[in-house]
Amino acid sequence: MPVLCAVYGCGNNSQRDKEYSFFRIPKIIENQGEKTRVLSEERRTQWLANINRADLNEQKCSYSRVCSKHFVSRKPADLYACTDPDWVPTQHLGHNKVRALDISIGLARNDRLSARNSIKRRKIEEEDHSTNVIDPPCPPVSPDEPTKCDVGCQTDMTGEEIDRMKFTVNYLSEQQDQLKTQLLAHQLHEGSFSNGGDDKVRFFTGLPNFLILMNVFQLVVSHVKCTSRNVISPFQQFILVLMRLRLALSLQDLSYRFGISLSTTCRIFDKWISVMNNRLSFLILWPQRDVLRKTMPTVFKQ
């Protein structure tokens, strides 16, 4: 069977597109020390973030591939070359979350690193070559004469390059803060509801205000089994269920909104709705039969 590229909208496959190579999504290396494990885990996370597919679970990752079209040099870089722009796929990803500025900065950083390494190797070779040169004799030093020691800092970069790098770091830090703020504003978490006002609570849940929402949540959450491995928080799971009940949203819609798979959405809804039925049924008051008859519409009485 042909191997398909996992990047959204790519469509390349190994049987038809012979000019492309296909590479596995990196695995986490557990048996080569802590540093390698952390670095490989970070790389795998960044690969999945750049591919940006919510349906790409662990099982699919094991047989998914990324073609060479999505790398600057047509192949991924080595694990330890974390400054190389091809450490992760960055080209033609079908979304705009990886910006051209980030790629150009990575290329420039990698070029500077390669240039510095080349200069260091050349200096080492020159030092090895000059070991046979006899140094001139040093004048004798009196034991009473204090020894002077100069301290300096040597770098291969000019002041202009350092200033430019500082500007880039500050710019990227500001961009990161802005993106975090924008992301949090669109996420349905506890903070967004507490700061969003009662109108937001009423629209998404049907409850009158945030205080009542939290009281109902506290009645239920202690009876729902949640672990640290859950993709979304218990509060977000609770909101997911209320949104389905209030707005009649489909499970597929909710899976997109919360960034989880459809199967996970189904499990969350089934788990919480069962507990809510047990814990909150006392809040539902059914009127007596005679009251129902008095208030029953005429069309139903007939």
| Structure confidence by residue, pLDDT tens digits, 61-101 | 888 899 999 998 899 988 888 888 888 998 888 887 776 54
Residue type, 9: G
pLDDT for the residue numbered 101: 47
In the DSSP assignment, the letter for residue 13 is B
Give just the sign of the alpha carbon dihedral 48, 49, 50, 52.
positive
Mention every residue, 6+ apart, whose C-beta is less than 8 A from residue 98: 50, 90
pLDDT for the residue numbered 148: 55
First to last CA, the chain: 66
Residue 103 in contact with residue 72, Cβ under 8 Å? Answer: yes
Mind listing the pLDDT tens digit for each residue in 141-154? 555 555 555 555 55
- Distances in whole angstroms, Cα of residue 167 to Cα of each of 2, 16, 153, 174: 47, 46, 22, 11
Task: Please state the separation of Cα 54 from the chain's center in Å.
Answer: 11
pLDDT for the residue numbered 203: 92
Q: Please name which of 78, 85, 32, 25 lies closest in space to residue 52, comparing C-alpha atoms.
A: 25
- Look at 178-182, 196-200, 252-256 and tell me which has the smallest mean pLDDT: 178-182
Give just the sign of the alpha carbon dihedral 36, 41, 46, 47.
positive
Listed ranges 2-11, 165-174, 259-268; the one with the highest mean pLDDT: 259-268
Question: Model-level pTM?
Answer: 0.41
